[in-house]
Amino acid sequence: MSWNWKRAAAGFAAASVLMAGMAACSSSRTDDGATASESSTAAEGGGSGGELIGIAMPTRSLERWNKDGSNLEALLKEKGYSTNLQYADNKVDQQISQIQNMINEGANILVIASIDGTALAPILETAAGQGIKVIAYDRLINGTDNVDYYATFDNYQVGKFQGEYIETALDLKNQAGPFNIEPFAGSPDDNNAKFFFAGAWDVLLPYVEKGVLKVPSGKSPASDDEWQSIGIPGWTSEAAQNEMTTRLNSFYAGGTKLDAVLSPNDSLALGIAQALEGAGYTPGPDYPVLTGQDGDQANVLNIIAGKQSMTVWKDTRELAKRVATMVDEIASGATVEVNDEKTYDNGNKIVPTFLIPPVVVTKDNIQDTLIASGFYTAADLGL
Ligand code: BGC
C-alpha cells in the first residue's frame, strides 16, 4: 500500500469522525488563553489530494513565529491542503499533546518547530508508526530517527554575521583594545542556540584569548561547547534584561565602559536595550554595539533609534515557501530537495536539510532589504 493511499485512508476516517463530531474545523487554545479556530478544511481542487498537514509552532509571544505560522498555513491552503496550526505557549507538554491530536486527526505530514528539541522522540515514534512524515521547522529535533527533513536558515552563519559585525565595528583586527564585551546565548533547550553561539564565538574567542576583548562579568565560555552556561531560558526579553542589569550593576558601576553585547536574537536584544537604558546609556557614540536576529519590528525600530546596531534578518516567507515545497514533494512521492547532508546530526542520524541564507540588516540597508522585499512597509517603520 503506498504512503499516500494509506494516509489518505486514515485521514478520511479521521475526518469523518471529526465531521460527525461537530464541524470540519477544530477549536484550540491559543497562547493567550483565548479559544480560536485554527484548523481548516482543504480548498477545493488544489494541487494536492487535500492531505492534512499539522503545523506545531512554539509560541505566539515572538513576532516571528506568528508570521511563520500564518505564512505557512496560507501557502499550504493555497495548494489545497488541510491544515491544523497550533501554538504551544512555549510549554513542551502542550506541544506534545497538540502533536498527539494532529496524529489522532489523521495528519499526513507534521511540520514542527520544537520547543525542546530533545523531548519529542516518543511522540514521533507514534507518528512514524502511522507512516506520518515529519519536517523539523527552523529548529532541529534531536535524539530520534523519526524526523525526515529539516528546513532552516544557516544558523552558524547567523552567529558568524553577529561576531563579524562586532569585529568590524570595534576594528578588532587593528586595535589593541582592550574592549569590554558581554556575551549572551539563547535558550539551552534550543538546538539552534548552539549554532548561533558557535558562529559568533569562533570569530570573537580568539580576541578574548589575545586580551583584545575582555568580559568583565567573567561570563565568557572557554569554548563553543560551554554556551549553555550563558543561555537565557525560553529566549525571554525579561530574563535577558535581568541578566544584563545584574552584570551592569555588578561589573560596570564604577564607570567601566561597555563596548559590545553579543545578543543571539532580537527578543534578548530588546531586554538588553531596556537594561542599558535603565543604566543610563543613550544612543550615540558611547552606546555599545548590540547584535540581534530576526528583524522583529520593535528591534528594527530600535535600530532606527540607535538602540540596537544590527539584526540578522531571516525572511520567514522564504522558509515557509521552502517547507510548502517539501510538503508537495513528500505528498507526491518526488525527491525532496535539500542542500546540506552533513551538518545537522541529531544524535541518531544526519537529517537532510535545506538551508536558507540569512541577511545582515543595519540602519543603512533597511530600505533595500526589509522594505524593498515587502517584509515591512515604510509606514510600519515610521519612515
Ligand atoms: C530561532 C530564532 C528565534 C529564537 C527564539 C530560534 O530557534 O531560530 O529565529 O529568535 O528561536 O524564538
The residue from 281, 297, 313 where one domain ends is 313
Considering the domain architecture, whether residues 161 and 68 belong to the same structural domain is answered as: no
Angstrom CA distances, 312 to 84, 107, 122, 355, 365, stand at 30, 34, 34, 15, 12
Considering the domain architecture, whether residues 309 and 194 belong to the same structural domain is answered as: yes
Cell of 371: 522594505
105 Cα to the center of ligand 1, angstroms: 28
User: 383 lies in a domain?
Assistant: no
C-beta of 156 in contact with ligand 1 (< 6 A): no
Q: Is 155 helix (H, G, I), strand (E, B) or coil?
A: helix
Q: Give the closest residue (by CA) to ligand 1 atom 5.
A: 235
C-beta of 227 in contact with ligand 1 (< 6 A): no
Cell of 301: 525600530
Give the span between the Cα atoms of 164 and 333, in whole angstroms.
42
φ, ψ of residue 62 to 5 degrees: the values are -110, 135
User: 363 lies in a domain?
Assistant: no
Cell of 343: 551538518
Q: Which helix (H) or strand (E) holds 178?
A: none
The residue from 260, 286, 313 where one domain ends is 313
265 Cα to the center of ligand 1, angstroms: 7
User: 366 lies in a domain?
Assistant: no
Considering the domain architecture, whether residues 162 and 304 belong to the same structural domain is answered as: yes
Residue 95: left if φ>0, alpha if ψ -120 to 50, beta else—which one?
alpha
Considering the domain architecture, whether residues 160 and 216 belong to the same structural domain is answered as: yes
C-beta of 322 in contact with ligand 1 (< 6 A): no
Q: Count of domains in the chain?
A: 2
Considering the domain architecture, whether residues 324 and 307 belong to the same structural domain is answered as: no
Pairing of strands 109-112, 133-137: parallel
Q: Using the atom order of ligand 1, give the atom closest to the CA of residue 190.
A: 7
Q: Using the atom order of ligand 1, give the atom closest to the CA of residue 235.
A: 5
41-66 pLDDT, tens per residue?
343 333 467 899 999 999 999 889 99
User: 10 lies in a domain?
Assistant: no
pTM of the model: 0.87
Considering the domain architecture, whether residues 338 and 259 belong to the same structural domain is answered as: no
For position 29, which CATH number holds? 3.40.50.2300
Q: Say which residue the cell 482543504 belongs to.
A: 42
Q: In this structure, which amino acid lies at residue 188?
A: P
Considering the domain architecture, whether residues 331 and 300 belong to the same structural domain is answered as: no
Q: Using the atom order of ligand 1, give the atom closest to the CA of residue 294.
A: 9
**pLDDT value of position 33:** 38
Q: Using the atom order of ligand 1, give the atom closest to the CA of residue 266.
A: 10
Strand positions, DSSP E, 154-245: 179-183, 213-214
Closest CA to 190 of 138, 96, 115: 115
367 Cα to the center of ligand 1, angstroms: 24
User: 376 lies in a domain?
Assistant: no
C-beta of 194 in contact with ligand 1 (< 6 A): no
Are 287 and 307 a contacting pair, CB within 8 Å?
yes
Question: Across the 383 residues of the chain, what is the mean pLDDT of every consecutive 10-residue run?
Answer: 40 37 34 39 49 97 93 96 97 98 97 96 98 97 98 97 98 97 96 96 98 98 97 97 98 94 98 97 97 97 98 96 97 96 96 97 98 97 94
Give the span between the Cα atoms of 269 and 240, in whole angstroms.
8
The residue range of the domain holding 342 is 18-147+315-356
User: 239 lies in a domain?
Assistant: yes
C-beta of 154 in contact with ligand 1 (< 6 A): no
**pLDDT value of position 81:** 96
Closest CA to 273 of 257, 291, 285: 291
